[in-house]
Chain A
Amino acid sequence: MTEDLQYVGGSYPVHDVAQKVTGELIYGSDFSVPGMLHAKLILSTIPHGIVKRIDASRAEALPGVVKIFSHENSPMTRFCRARIHPGQDLAPHDETLFSEHVRFVGDRVAAVVATSRAAAEAAAALVAIEYEELPALLTVDEALASADVLVHSTGNVAYEFEVDKGERPDLEGAVMVSSTSSTPRVHHAALEPHVCIAQGHSTGGMTVWTTSQGVYAARTVIAELLDLEYHRVRVIKVPMGGSFGGKTEYIIEPVVAFLAKETRRPVKLLLDREECMIATMVRPATWTTIRTAFSPDGMLLDFEAASTLDAGAYASSTPDYSVHMCKKVTKLYRVPHYQHQSRAVLTNTPVGGAARGWGAPEIAAATEIHMDRVAAVLRLDPVELRLKNMVEPYDTDLVTGLSLGDARVRECLERGAVAFDWAARRARPAGRGRLRRGVGVAAGAHKNGMFGAFPEASNMSLKMNEDGTFELNASLHDPGCGVVTTMKIIAAEVLGVHPDRIAAGEADTATTPFDYGTYGSRVTYVVGQCARVTAEKVKGRLLQAAAELLKEPIVHLYTRDGAVRVKNDAARAIAYRDIARLSEMRHVPSISASTTYYAVSNPASYSVQFAEVEVDCATGLVAVTDFLAVADVGRAINRGMVEAQYQGAVQMGIGYALYEHLDVDEQGRSGVDGFKNYHIVNAPDMPDIQVLLVEHEGDDGPFSAKSVGEIATVPTAPAVVNAVNNALGTALSELPLVPERIIAALHEPEEVPACSSC
C-alpha cells in the first residue's frame, strides 16, 4: 500500500514555518489588544501557612496600578486545573484563584493589574504579605508520616490505586529480583513562558486567547468558575512555543479571565521563567519498588510493584497519573501475574501534573533499569531477556483488557539491535581507565488516545471552496510539532490534492467543533482518523458529482492531482475547480461533510532505544556518544517531522537521565530559578541520533498511523542509565545521574553480579 500513498509518508515543514522563520508569527507572548492591562502574580514565599494580612497601600498608590486582587476580594470557588469535562473522575477541586491557605513556595497569593508590565511588577514588589507559618511537609516521607499537619484537609494521600491481575504461578525455583528507583521532579522547559490574555465584553461575554492544549476544557473551567454560560465564553488557541504537557492544564487561564471580568478591560499575564518553573507545574518526582520472579531461563513469572508520586501542593492530574503508571508494563511484557500499587502524595512543594508521557517515562525508567538488573542476575544479554518476554501483536493487555493492536515492539528491538550493532558493542570492554564506554537499551510503551477510559471522539467538517481548494474546520491544538500539517497531509491523501491546497486552522470554541485537544497521544490516532473519515465523505461527494458528469460508475473513478479521474482512461478527468463551478450553480450540492468519529480501539505505541555513553570517572560527567531510537509508528504521516520529534524527545530524555532536577531546600524554596541553574541539553552535548521507523498496517489510525510525541521520550532515560551502568559495572537507579551520584557509586560499587557477556 505504501507505494500508492502520494503524500502520507512524505516530509513537510510545520504549516506556519514561513511565519516562524521571518518572525512574523504572533505567539501568545507577542499578542496584544488595544487598551490591554498587564497582570503580575504575587506568589507565596513560604511553603505552608495562612495569609494573615495583605498591605497593598503602597502598591495601590503607584501610578498605573488599576487594582490588586487576592482572596480578600475574589471568589473562593474551588476548581480543578486538570479537568477536561464536567463530572470527570479523579479531578479534585482543590484550588482557588488566590490562596488564603498557602501550600507551597509559588502558591498564588495575589495579582496586581496595571497599565504596563513594568508598573505591575513594581507594584507587586511593594505588596506586603504577613503569614502565619505552618509546619511544611517537604518530602513524601514527611507527608506520609504526618497525622496532624495536612496539606489539604482530606489527607495527604491524594489518591491510592491498585491493580492485581492474572494468577501468580508456582514460583518454586524462580529467581527473585528486587530494585528501587526514583525519577526527579523536572521542568517542562517549553521555550515560551506561560501566557494568557482575556477580555471581558460589555455583552457579558468574554474572549480568552491562550497557548493551551485544549480550549474546550479551558472553557468548562473558566465558565463555571465565573458563573458564565458556555456560549458567552470564547476560548481561542493561539500559536505557542512548546508545551510538553506543561500547558495542558488551566493554571493561569482562570485567573486572567477573572481579572478581565472584574476590570472590564483586556488583561495579559505573561509569566517569567522562574514563575514557570516553580508556580505552574512540574513533572512529578516518583519512587518505584519492583519485585519480579523469573524462571532460571529468563521467563517473567510475576511482577509486583509499588509506586509513589509526589503530587506537590495540589492534586491536579497526579491521581490519574498514578493510575497510568500501573498501565504500562503489561503493554510491554507478557506476565502471568501483575500487581501494582500506586499513590499520589501531597506535599508543600511545586504542583506536579501532566508531562509528556503521563507516567510512562517514570515507570519505564523503573522497569527497564530493573530488567537490566535481572539480566545481570540471570547472566543473560539485556536484549535477549527482553525478547523472551515481550508481547506479540494483538495480545490483550492484562491490565486494561484491551487489544494491544499490531504491537511491533519485538520487531523494534530486533531491528534496532542489528542497526546498532548491539552484540559487538556490548561485548566490547568498558575500559579500566578514566574514560569508560558502555551501551544500554530500553523499551517503552504508551497509548493512542483515551478509548477504554473516556468518551473518546472527535468532530470536524471539511468543505470545498469555489476554486476547488479545501478548508478543514477542526479544533486543532498544535503545540508546535506539526499537528496542523499532519491533518492536512491526511486529508490531502484522501482527496488527492497537495496538502497546500487545504487550509486548516486551530481551535476556537466559537467557530470550531468540539474536541478534547492535544492529550493522551490521541491526536494522530483519533483526530487524524476523524480527518480521514471526513475527507472520505467529501471524496464521496466529489466522486458522485463526477460520476454523473462523466457518465461513469463510481467504481471506475479515483481522485488524484486535484481531479476526479477515470481508471484506465488517462484522458478523462474533471478538475475539482470545475466540480466547484457546478456546485456554485446548484447543480451539485455543496461539496462538504461533517463527522463525529468515535474511536474504536486503543493500541499501544512502542519505542526501543539504544544509547552509547562515555563516562569520565574523574569528573563523573557522562557524554552520550551515540543513540538509536526505533519507533513503532504504524505509519509515518510526516516522516521528517516524526524523526525530528524523536530527536527532540531524546534531548528531553537525556536531560531526564543525566541533568534535570528541580529540588526544594529545607525552607521549601526551589534551588532553581532559571536556566542558569537548570541545565537542559544544548547543541554541543547532543549526540547524533538515528531514528528507525517500523511501519506496518494493522491498527485503526489514519493509514495505520499511531502516536509519536509522547512515546518518543519514554525509554530514553533508562537506555542512558543502563549504558552508564554497563560502562561502570554499577546499579545506579536514582535519576538523574549527576556527577555526585556517579562518583559516589564508583567509590561504593553495589554488589551486582557481572554479566557474562559484558
Chain B
Amino acid sequence: MQLLLTVNGLSHEVEVRPTARLLDVLRDQLGLTGTKEGCAEGECGACTVLVDGKAVNSCVMLAVQARGKEILTVEGLAEHGDLDLLQQKFVEYGAVQCGYCTPGMLMSAKALLMANPVPSEQDIRIALAGNLCRCTGYAAIVAAVKAASGHDATPAMVLPGEADELAVEVATDPATLAIVDEVVEAAVAELTEGTAPAPEAFPSLDAPAGPPGAPAAPPPEPPEDAGDAEGGE
C-alpha cells in the first residue's frame, strides 16, 4: 500500500506492506539507520522516535499508524548540520560510549524537554526508564539531559577540534622558518633544474645525535642512491 510519511520535515511516499513496522520503513526504505533495533518488543528503547512530539518505540508501531503524522528521528535533530543542544550536551558530558542506545536516549529526552523544559532529575530518570544502556550506568546521560534543561554543571569532556587552550599550535620562529624555506626552495630548484637533490642532507636519524652539521646546503656530490629522486620520470 502507498503511504505518505513526514519524516524530519520531508514528506516521503513509500510502498509498504500493511504489517510493516515503522522501524523497518525508516531503516530499510528511507535509509535512516540512526534509529536502532535492540529487542523488537518495545523494551530497550533503542528504536525510539518522536511521532507528533511523543516518544514511541518504532519497533512496535506499524508504519501505517504514522500516516499523516510528523515523525522526528535522530537524523532530524541537527538542523543544518549544527548539533541540537541535547546532542551537544551528550558529547560534552561523556554520555556516549558504544552509542547504540544513544539515538533512543536522545529522542526520549527530546520528548521530555518538549513537554517539560525544566524537569527534575527524577523526571529525567523516569522519562528514560524505557531506554536501556549497558555501558554508562546512565549517570552521564542524566547529567547531559539536566544540562540541556539549564542545570548546567561542569562539562566533563574536552571536545575534539575545539579551539581550546589544549589545541594551541606553536608556529616555527621566523629565523628557523627562513632556513626551512631556504632548504625547500633549494630542493625545488634542484628538482626543476634537473640536478639530483641530496636526499641525505641530514645524517641518518638513527645515528647518535652529534653536533649539528651543515644541513641547509646540500652537499656537492649526490649520494649513489640519489637516482631514485628522478628515476621515475
Q: Which of A13, A26, A272, A647 contacts B40 (CB 8 A)?
A: A272
Contacts of B117 in A (CB 8 A): none
Inter-subunit contact B44/A21 (CB<8 Å): no
Which residues 632-684 of A sit at the B interface, judged by CB distance below 8 A? Answer: 640-641, 644-652, 674-676, 680, 682-684
Asked if B13 CB lies within 8 Å of chain A CBs, one says: no
Question: Considering the chains assembled together, what is the distance between the CA atoms of A560 and B91 in angstroms?
Answer: 26
Inter-subunit contact A641/B170 (CB<8 Å): no
CB distance from A205 to the nearest CB of B (A): 27
Question: Considering the chains assembled together, what is the distance between the CA atoms of A510 and B79 in angstroms?
Answer: 38
Q: Which of B39, B99, B167, B180 contacts A574 (CB 8 A)?
A: B180
Contacts of B46 in A (CB 8 A): 191
Across the interface, name the chain A residue whose C-beta is closest to B142.
Answer: A683
Binds B, one of A213-221, A365-373, A539-547, A749-757: A539-547
Contacts of B149 in A (CB 8 A): none
Inter-subunit contact A240/B158 (CB<8 Å): no
Question: Considering the chains assembled together, what is the distance between the CA atoms of A735 and B19 in angstroms?
Answer: 42
Binds B, one of A94-102, A169-177, A328-336, A581-589: A581-589
Interface centre among B138, B139, B142, B215 (most CB of A within 10 A): B139
Q: Which of B125, B135, B158, B212 contacts A684 (CB 8 A)?
A: B125
Contacts of A586 in B (CB 8 A): 187, 197-199, 229
Binds B, one of A149-157, A437-445, A450-458, A551-559: A551-559
Number of interface residues of B (CB under 8 A): 90
Across the interface, name the chain B residue whose C-beta is closest to A498.
Answer: B167
Across the interface, name the chain B residue whose C-beta is closest to A647.
Answer: B137
Inter-subunit contact B38/A11 (CB<8 Å): no
Question: Considering the chains assembled together, what is the distance between the CA atoms of A574 and B122 in angstroms?
Answer: 54
Inter-subunit contact A644/B74 (CB<8 Å): no
Across the interface, name the chain A residue whose C-beta is closest to B180.
Answer: A578
Contacts of B139 in A (CB 8 A): 644, 647, 686, 688-689
Contacts of A133 in B (CB 8 A): none
Question: Considering the chains assembled together, what is the distance between the CA atoms of A188 and B98 in angstroms?
Answer: 14
Interface centre among A26, A191, A241, A585 (most CB of B within 10 A): A191
Given contacts A500-B161, A587-B201, A684-B125, contact A641 B34 (CB under 8 A): no
Q: B155-176 toward A: CB 8 Å interface, digit per residue (1/0)?
A: 0111111000011111111011
Interface centre among B73, B92, B129, B140 (most CB of A within 10 A): B140
Contacts of A21 in B (CB 8 A): 74, 77, 83, 87, 90-91, 96, 99, 102, 106
Inter-subunit contact B74/A550 (CB<8 Å): no
Question: Considering the chains assembled together, what is the distance between the CA atoms of A208 and B162 in angstroms?
Answer: 36
A-B contact count (CB 8 A): 292
Question: Considering the chains assembled together, what is the distance between the CA atoms of A516 and B102 in angstroms?
Answer: 29
Contacts of B9 in A (CB 8 A): none
Contacts of B97 in A (CB 8 A): 14, 242, 480-482, 641, 644-645, 648
Given contacts A11-B94, A244-B134, A574-B176, contact A551 B212 (CB under 8 A): yes
Contacts of B33 in A (CB 8 A): 23, 26-27, 30
Across the interface, name the chain A residue whose C-beta is closest to B76.
Answer: A23
Given contacts A30-B33, A652-B134, contact A587 B98 (CB under 8 A): no
Across the interface, name the chain B residue whose C-beta is closest to A560.
Answer: B170
Which residues 1-57 of A sit at the B interface, judged by CB distance below 8 A? Answer: 6-7, 10-18, 20-27, 29-30
Given contacts A241-B99, A684-B126, contact A585 B184 (CB under 8 A): yes
Inter-subunit contact A13/B159 (CB<8 Å): yes
Inter-subunit contact B205/A23 (CB<8 Å): no
Contacts of A674 in B (CB 8 A): 39-41, 43
Across the interface, name the chain B residue whose C-beta is closest to A485.
Answer: B160
Binds B, one of A255-263, A565-573, A699-707: A565-573
Inter-subunit contact B100/A241 (CB<8 Å): yes
Inter-subunit contact A242/B134 (CB<8 Å): yes
Asked if A66 CB lies within 8 Å of chain B CBs, one says: no
Which residues 512-550 of A sit at the B interface, judged by CB distance below 8 A? Answer: 540-541, 543-545, 547-550
Inter-subunit contact B170/A563 (CB<8 Å): yes
Asked if B78 CB lies within 8 Å of chain A CBs, one says: yes
Asked if B10 CB lies within 8 Å of chain A CBs, one says: no
Question: Considering the chains assembled together, what is the distance between the CA atoms of A191 and B137 in angstroms?
Answer: 13
Interface centre among B40, B142, B172 (most CB of A within 10 A): B172
Question: Considering the chains assembled together, what is the distance between the CA atoms of A676 and B38 in angstroms?
Answer: 12
Inter-subunit contact B37/A10 (CB<8 Å): no
Inter-subunit contact B134/A481 (CB<8 Å): no
Which residues 232-250 of A sit at the B interface, judged by CB distance below 8 A? Answer: 240-242, 244
Asked if B209 CB lies within 8 Å of chain A CBs, one says: yes
Asked if A273 CB lies within 8 Å of chain B CBs, one says: yes
Which residues 31-88 of B sit at the A interface, judged by CB distance below 8 A? Answer: 32-41, 43-44, 46, 73-75, 77-78, 83, 87
Contacts of B83 in A (CB 8 A): 18, 21-22
Across the interface, name the chain B residue whose C-beta is closest to A272.
Answer: B40
Q: Which of B99, B180, B188 contacts A25 (CB 8 A)?
A: B99
Inter-subunit contact B38/A572 (CB<8 Å): no
Inter-subunit contact B98/A481 (CB<8 Å): yes
Asked if B179 CB lies within 8 Å of chain A CBs, one says: yes
Given contacts A12-B160, A545-B202, A585-B184, contact A573 B100 (CB under 8 A): no
CB distance from A461 to the nearest CB of B (A): 16
Q: B123-163 toward A: CB 8 Å interface, digit per residue (1/0)?
A: 01110111111111111111000000000000011111100
Inter-subunit contact B157/A640 (CB<8 Å): yes
CB distance from A674 to the nearest CB of B (A): 5
CB distance from B185 to the nearest CB of A (A): 9
Contacts of B213 in A (CB 8 A): 548
Asked if A193 CB lies within 8 Å of chain B CBs, one says: yes
Given contacts A23-B73, A242-B134, A273-B39, contact A548 B202 (CB under 8 A): yes
Inter-subunit contact B94/A641 (CB<8 Å): yes
Given contacts A585-B187, A674-B41, A684-B126, contact A191 B170 (CB under 8 A): no
Contacts of B30 in A (CB 8 A): none
Q: Which of A7, A16, A588, A641 contacts B166 (CB 8 A)?
A: A7
Inter-subunit contact B160/A191 (CB<8 Å): no
Question: Considering the chains assembled together, what is the distance between the CA atoms of A548 and B183 in angstroms?
Answer: 12
Q: Which of B38, B124, B172, B215 contacts A563 (CB 8 A)?
A: B172
Q: Which of B96, B99, B129, B172 contacts A683 (CB 8 A)?
A: B129
Question: Considering the chains assembled together, what is the distance between the CA atoms of A137 and B173 in angstroms?
Answer: 77
Inter-subunit contact B158/A11 (CB<8 Å): yes
CB distance from B221 to the nearest CB of A (A): 16
CB distance from B207 to the nearest CB of A (A): 9
Inter-subunit contact A644/B94 (CB<8 Å): yes
Q: Which of B38, B92, B106, B199 contacts A191 (CB 8 A)?
A: B38
Asked if B22 CB lies within 8 Å of chain A CBs, one says: no
Asked if A64 CB lies within 8 Å of chain B CBs, one says: no
CB distance from A718 to the nearest CB of B (A): 18
Asked if A163 CB lies within 8 Å of chain B CBs, one says: no
Inter-subunit contact B41/A273 (CB<8 Å): yes
Asked if A357 CB lies within 8 Å of chain B CBs, one says: no
Which residues 81-137 of A sit at the B interface, judged by CB distance below 8 A? Answer: none
Question: Considering the chains assembled together, what is the distance between the CA atoms of A500 and B180 in angstroms?
Answer: 26
Asked if A375 CB lies within 8 Å of chain B CBs, one says: no
Given contacts A191-B134, A683-B141, contact A20 B129 (CB under 8 A): no
Across the interface, name the chain A residue whose C-beta is closest to B199.
Answer: A586
- Interchain Cβ contacts under 8 Å between A and B, 13 examples: A21-B91, A188-B134, A192-B38, A192-B98, A241-B100, A481-B135, A581-B184, A586-B199, A587-B201, A646-B137, A651-B138, A683-B128, A689-B139
